[in-house]
Structure 1
Amino acid sequence: MLQAESIKNIMKTCISRDKNPRISVVLAVYNHEQFVGQTIESIIGQSFEDWELIIIDDCSKDGSADVVRKYIQGPSHHSCPSGTGGPRPADHEDERIRFYQAEKNRGTVRTFNELLKKARGEYVAFIGSDDIWHSGKLQEQIEYMEQHKETAVCFSWAEFIDENGRLYSEDEKECDYDTQIFMHKNCTQGEVLRCFFDSANYFCHPSALIRSEVIREIGGFDLRFRQLHDFEYWVRVLQKYPVHIIQKPLVQYRRLSTENDSLSAVNKQNMIRFMNEIQTIIYTMIKEMNRDIFCEAFHDMLKKEITTDARLVSEKYFVLLGWHMMGVNNRQPAARFLNEFLDDSVIECLEEEYQYSLNDYYEELGNAWKLYPFDFYQEYEILEEEHQALKKAYRSQEKAVAKLNREIQGMSRTLSWRITKPLREVKRLGVKKGK
């Protein structure tokens, strides 16, 4: 017969299975065998415990799936060979973790959308399969969200770490990214969107905690965007809701020094894709921005007070005309925008109120597409080869110096070295006297 305490534990487990968790943590995994165990450990170690973790492995080619299984199988399966970079073996099966394996590789965006469909929590938290959370992250964020019902998403600052888990700021290593980019102050919706227009996204994706009701309203990630899917998503959120950033680093964001195959690697193909994606995002952002947020965001660029729909179209067109990307004033989004909204009322407004004629518009169409100086990539590749050769030579010199130091230390411990010490002292004094 089962003891009363055992029955109590079984009932508690059944209740917890039926009850939806407060937070659904979603984790897409691909070829991160070395890091995913650390990521899962940082989730399990959260001081806030009412969560579920949903993991999809997108057909990893390494042992990522095997690492994840260590957290969903019984104790007998939790052995972890030393030196593999795998996770600390769990003491017991954690029923809060659900693991799925894709039948074929579908990419990050589709995997994220599948994860969102499986989420049952009141909130959804994103994390990358090589990133690490501080233990109090979820607790601090949910406390803020509960006190500020108007906020759709809560982010935090983040620190950059390398493949060895060391902070770039501590090692003073060179990072191909601005390590302060996530350390941003809080701003209004309009101010954030203006910053997006002028520069770039500064939200750390694996720091985000978003309300599930917001996801149900605005939908999942847009499949058109391979590199900037998170940027486009935050633009959609900000068109409707305010967001908040906790002003301290609650995430360690991993930036590998050898990301030649990743979407964030610097190469010509990724840069062209980036520019095509950001043009579409900026165009859509301005197009769908309501009058109040638009006026707040671009108050310093407005030519006139916006009192009619025709003026709103005109002002949005002029704002897009002033958009720069990579130092080039690219007018293509502006031409596309006016081409969509140009009618008799807009033509009349432009001509009579802004002294901007159709001939001016036609001239803009002739200059709408500016070619970017992609030739610099050839020079970049040459410089990168030289840089790698210098790094290799430097490492070789470091090894040679270390070897000489070991030899010197070995010599200093020999009997002959100790016996001849007085002679070396006399010689040193003689040199000084001669000077």
Structure 2
Amino acid sequence: MQNDLVSIITPSYNSEKFIAKTIESIINQTCENWEMIIVDDCSPDNSNEIIENYMQKEKRIKLIKLKKNSGPAIARNMAIEQAKGRFIAFLDADDIWLPEKLEKQLLFMKENDLSFTYSAYRLIDEEDNDLGVFIPPVLADYSSLLKTNFIGCLTAIYDTNKIGKMYMPNILKRQDYGLWLKILKQIKSTKGITEPLAIYRIRKNSVSSNKLKAAMYQWKIYREVEKLNIFQSMYYFMNYAYYGLKKY
């Protein structure tokens, strides 16, 4: 059914090394009712050529080219704006979905009457070496997510029929985290799937691999996006540090 269409949001910048695997993982989904909206953020490499080759064979893939380099928040929000689907899902241009990801997650959402869900995911490095599995808590609410962001962007799906279209805050990093907090403020709580349904690639220079940078952006979320006072921010930041040490 068209009203169950899934719009997959993919920002792309210099992604020529991995974008083919990302697209293939969408084409190989057992759920076929999807559109993939890739937004190129002025890539100087050959990633657009690779994407356009896939578009010739696969009409469900769309490419939007930004006129100036604007960052992933604007790229993702542009795709959300253009999305025709009931469900909004996210997959970055270097990550991968397992074949039954959409089918299993949509069934889980419908059976449990959920407007927003997430799942566990596997981790790999740039050479596809296995780095283990991240299993998030089953339950998520605003307060628990402030302590630590356990929702991987590549696993998140929300239902526009239930909560409308929601956009990411226009910040340089952690904009996905800002969106999850915004959604959880509205819906109060949700559930996730503990089975890994996606594969997250850790890049050498990514924010997630640079702990100091990640901590700085976490603080900005508390103070500038969520507008928490200094005491609330310190409380949640101590929790963030604790969970960060525990995770790694």
What band does the TM-score fall into relative to the shorter chain? 0.7 to 0.9
Mark the CA change 1:27 to 1:322 in structure 2 (over 3 Å): closer, same or farther.
closer
1:220 aligns with: 167
For residues 225-236 of structure 1, the aligned pairs below 5 Å read 225-236=171-182
Q: In the alignment, is residue 132 of structure 1 matched against residue 91 of structure 2?
A: no
For residues 184-333 of structure 1, the aligned pairs below 5 Å read 184-187=136-139, 189=141, 193-197=142-146, 199-214=147-162, 216=164, 219-223=166-170, 225-241=171-187, 242-256=189-203, 258-259=204-205, 262-266=206-210, 271-284=215-228, 320=232, 323=235, 325=237
For residues 33-432 of structure 1, the aligned pairs below 5 Å read 33-73=16-56, 93-149=57-113, 151-169=114-132, 180=134, 183-187=135-139, 189=141, 193-197=142-146, 199-214=147-162, 216=164, 219-223=166-170, 225-241=171-187, 242-256=189-203, 258-259=204-205, 262-266=206-210, 271-284=215-228, 320=232, 323=235, 325=237
Conserved in 2, the CA contact under 8 Å of 1:157 and 1:250? yes
- Alpha-carbon deviation of 1:63? 1.1
2:243 aligns with: none
For residues 240 and 322 of structure 1, the distance between their equivalents in structure 2, rounded to whole angstroms, comes to 24
- Alpha-carbon deviation of 1:213? 3.2
Mark the CA change 1:280 to 1:247 in structure 2 (over 3 Å): closer, same or farther.
same
For residues 140 and 187 of structure 1, the distance between their equivalents in structure 2, rounded to whole angstroms, comes to 18
- Amino acid corresponding to residue 150 of structure 2 in structure 1: Y
For residues 58 and 177 of structure 2, the distance between their equivalents in structure 1, rounded to whole angstroms, comes to 33
Note the alpha carbon deviations across 1:286-334, whole angstroms, 9 max, x for none: 8xxxxxxxxxxxxxxxxxxxxxxxxxxxxxx9x7387153589xxxxxx
Note the alpha carbon deviations across 1:317-365, whole angstroms, 9 max, x for none: 9x7387153589xxxxxxxxxxxxxxxxxxxxxxxxxxxxxxxxxxxxx
Conserved in 2, the CA contact under 8 Å of 1:56 and 1:111? yes
For residues 163 and 43 of structure 2, the distance between their equivalents in structure 1, rounded to whole angstroms, comes to 27
SS of the residue 1:158 aligns to: strand
Higher percent of residues as helix: 1
- Alpha-carbon deviation of 1:281? 4.2
- Amino acid corresponding to residue 209 of structure 1 in structure 2: I
Mark the runs of 5 or more structure 1 residues left unpaired by the alignment. Answer: 1-15, 74-92, 170-178, 287-316, 329-435
SS of the residue 2:138 aligns to: coil
For residues 325 and 154 of structure 1, the distance between their equivalents in structure 2, rounded to whole angstroms, comes to 24
SS of the residue 1:206 aligns to: helix
SS of the residue 1:25 aligns to: strand
Task: Give the superposed CA RMSD.
Answer: 2.6
For residues 117 and 233 of structure 2, the distance between their equivalents in structure 1, rounded to whole angstroms, comes to 33
Higher percent of residues as strand: 2
SS of the residue 2:79 aligns to: helix
Structure whose alpha-carbon radius of gyration is higher: 1
- Alpha-carbon deviation of 1:128? 0.8
Note the alpha carbon deviations across 1:83-111, whole angstroms, 9 max, x for none: xxxxxxxxxx2111111222211110001
Mark the CA change 1:50 to 1:268 in structure 2 (over 3 Å): closer, same or farther.
closer
Conserved in 2, the CA contact under 8 Å of 1:22 and 1:121? yes
For residues 65 and 31 of structure 2, the distance between their equivalents in structure 1, rounded to whole angstroms, comes to 27
1:27 aligns with: 10
TM-score normalized with structure 2 length: 0.86
TM-score normalized with structure 1 length: 0.51
Mark the CA change 1:68 to 1:248 in structure 2 (over 3 Å): closer, same or farther.
same
Identity of aligned residues (%): 26
For residues 207 and 95 of structure 1, the distance between their equivalents in structure 2, rounded to whole angstroms, comes to 24
Conserved in 2, the CA contact under 8 Å of 1:228 and 1:278? no
Aligned length: 239
- Alpha-carbon deviation of 1:278? 2.9
- Amino acid corresponding to residue 323 of structure 1 in structure 2: Y
User: Which moved further from structure 2: 202-211 or 241-250?
Assistant: 241-250
For residues 249 and 268 of structure 1, the distance between their equivalents in structure 2, rounded to whole angstroms, comes to 27
- Alpha-carbon deviation of 1:194? 2.9
For residues 67 and 321 of structure 1, the distance between their equivalents in structure 2, rounded to whole angstroms, comes to 43
For residues 43 and 237 of structure 1, the distance between their equivalents in structure 2, rounded to whole angstroms, comes to 25
- Alpha-carbon deviation of 1:282? 4.9
- Amino acid corresponding to residue 67 of structure 1 in structure 2: I
